[in-house]
Amino acid sequence: EPEVTQTPSHQVTQMGQEVILRCVPISNHLYFYWYRQILGQKVEFLVSFYNNEISEKSEIFDDQFSVERPDGSNFTLKIRSTKLEDSAMYFCASSYWPGPSYEQYFGPGTRLTVT
């Protein structure tokens, strides 16, 4: 069964460093998302991406964050200058088509630890 994959599974970085989290969405999916979950808190929407453009973003997704689809298979989240409060699980998701009738499938997540 096709699945979303994410690398690395755990990333440790120092405050102020740039970090790139990588995702490979399901191959025929066209709509991509990033969510995050701070330990013990709710899963939060960050950004959605379709047709090489950001479709929607939350207030969390400020200028320190960016997303990119560098090739036909990868989808990345970059945090330019990490802060302690960026420590969280980051989940990538994809859906076949934009629109709420199409379910989103989540990857296993990348645990980001900022020290």
Chain positions contacting another protein, by CB under 8 A = 4, 31, 33, 35, 37, 39, 42-45, 48, 56, 58, 89, 91, 93, 95, 98-109, 111
Q: How many DSSP H helices and E strands does the chain contain?
A: 0, 11
Sign of CA dihedral 52, 97, 110, 5: negative
User: Could you give the residue ranges of the DSSP H alpha helices within the chain?
Assistant: none
Q: Which is nearer to another protein, 40 or 72 (CB)?
A: 40
CB of 106 to another protein, least distance (A): 4
Please, what is the minimum distance in Å from the beta carbon of residue 115 to another protein? 19
- Residue 15, token pair as written in the block: 């405050």
Coil, helix or strand at residue 68: strand
To the nearest whole angstrom, how small is the minimum distance from the Cβ of residue 62 to another protein?
Answer: 17
